[in-house]
Amino acid sequence: MSQPVVRRGFVTAADVARRARVSRSAVSRTFTPGASVSAEVRQRVLQVAEHLGYRVNRLASSLNQARSNLIGLVGTDLQQPFHASLLATMSAALLADGFQCMLLNAANAERDVGAVIARVLEYRVAAIVVMTGTPPARIVEECLSNGVPVILVNKLLPNLAVDTVIADHAAGGRMAAEQLLAAGCRRLAVVSSAARTASLIGRIDAFCAGAGAAHATVKVWAEREATDYETGREAARALLAKQRIDGVFCVTDLLALGFLDAARFEHGRRVPDDLSLIGFDDIAQAAWDAYRLTTFRQPVGNLAAAVMKAIRRRMKDPVATHDLETVPIELVVRSTVRGFAEKDLAA
């Protein structure tokens, strides 16, 4: 009969000090870079620490400092492919730079603002990175009033002293109009959700301006709250049942994939022969053979690099002027725009 597993707590610095026959402060100095401790004491402490499996409690250590090395990553809808990719890339970049990540799901922040703020500030985070969603101004103001820098990704809060990293959404909307017009499309639609985020608005407005300059008809559809696959399907049902739309710009790939499936399988539209379609984000699913979606890539690596640059700058100079950095997007040509599919298939 197997013996029951005896569970014990974490090995503490006091445990190491007793076993190594040194003071608690000697253990602390051993694991503090640059601290004064004799070579003989350091070796004995390290040997005992390895034997016991001791690990430094970085969170406890941070209590003696104004800031920890924690970076708070705040996001909503983290299950969406682009947001998940950004989270993975951003967390990897932080870890590579010596920071630790604290993930905060702000989906319910409007209903529970106080708890989110308290959680962030209790851990003395070095900075907050808001990756997705538009945070309530109160959250940002509370962090700033406590000296915690805030970096926004793909959103604008112009009245607050924050660093901002944003993809060139306007360029994407403008280029989408150009691509569809070049494909001979004149009855255009832009599909979004009811979410009025800066990134979505920037794409919509630029698309409408570019199409309007060419005197093309544009129908804007933004009837459902969620920016997801089902909203794209609903948009296709609403737009294609009554109108002869021949070119569509969906402001995210998830919308585009839903629209594409409904257009093909529910309305019998041939893509790209009689309907051209463009998305935005270049999520992994956009390249699947079932879709081969022409889209615009938000380079998550470049977004993460710009965020890291802002964090390092803010750590070095907390009162530096706040920056707005725009990251270029990239057109990815696949098979859903008439006249451009052949180029992709021959590549």
Which residues are within 8 A (CB) of 319 and not within 5 positions of it... i.e. 6 or more apart? none
Query: CATH topology of 70-168+300-329 equal to that of 169-297+332-346?
Result: yes
pLDDT digits (tens, 9 = 90+) for 190-246: 999 998 888 999 999 999 999 999 999 899 999 999 999 999 999 999 999 888 899
**26 vs 167: which has the higher pLDDT:** 167
Residue ranges covered by each domain of the chain: 13-56, 70-168+300-329, 169-297+332-346
**197 vs 119: which has the higher pLDDT:** 197
Average pLDDT of the segment spanning 262-277? 96
**148 vs 327: which has the higher pLDDT:** 327
Residue in this structure with the two tokens 């090995």, named with its chain if needed: 11
* 153, pLDDT greater than 90: yes
70-168+300-329 sits in which CATH class?
A: alpha beta
Average pLDDT of the segment spanning 58-86? 76
Answer CATH for 13-56 from 1.10.260.40, 1.10.1200.10, 3.30.465.10, 2.40.30.260: 1.10.260.40
Residue in this structure with the two tokens 């049902």, named with its chain if needed: 237
Domain 169-297+332-346 indexed as CATH 1.10.3720.10: no
Average pLDDT of the segment spanning 62-81? 76
pLDDT digits (tens, 9 = 90+) for 165-185: 999 999 999 999 999 999 999
Q: Are 125 and 72 contacting, i.e. CB atoms less than 8 angstroms apart? A: yes
pLDDT given at position 118 = 63
**pTM confidence score:** 0.81
**8 vs 168: which has the higher pLDDT:** 168
Alpha helices in the chain (DSSP H): 13-20, 24-30, 39-52, 58-62, 81-96, 113-122, 137-145, 169-182, 198-213, 229-240, 253-265, 300-316, 341-346
pLDDT given at position 344 = 46
**With bands split at pLDDT 50, 70 and 90, how would you rate the model's confidence at 346?**
very low
* 113, pLDDT greater than 50: no
Distances (CA, A) of 174 to 89, 203, 236: 27, 8, 22
Q: For all residues of the chain together, what is the average pLDDT?
A: 87
pLDDT given at position 321 = 86
pLDDT given at position 110 = 53
* 123, pLDDT greater than 90: no
pLDDT given at position 155 = 87
**CA gap 130, 45 in Å, rounded:** 41
DSSP labels, 23-66: -HHHHHHHTSTT----HHHHHHHHHHHHHHT----HHHHHTTSS
**CA gap 160, 142 in Å, rounded:** 11
pLDDT given at position 9 = 64
Q: Is 81 exposed, middle or buried (0-12, 13-18, 19+ CB in 10 A)?
A: middle
Task: Return the number of other C-beta atoms located less than 10 Å from residue 238's C-beta.
Answer: 17
Percentage above 70 pLDDT, the chain: 86
pLDDT given at position 207 = 98
**178 vs 343: which has the higher pLDDT:** 178
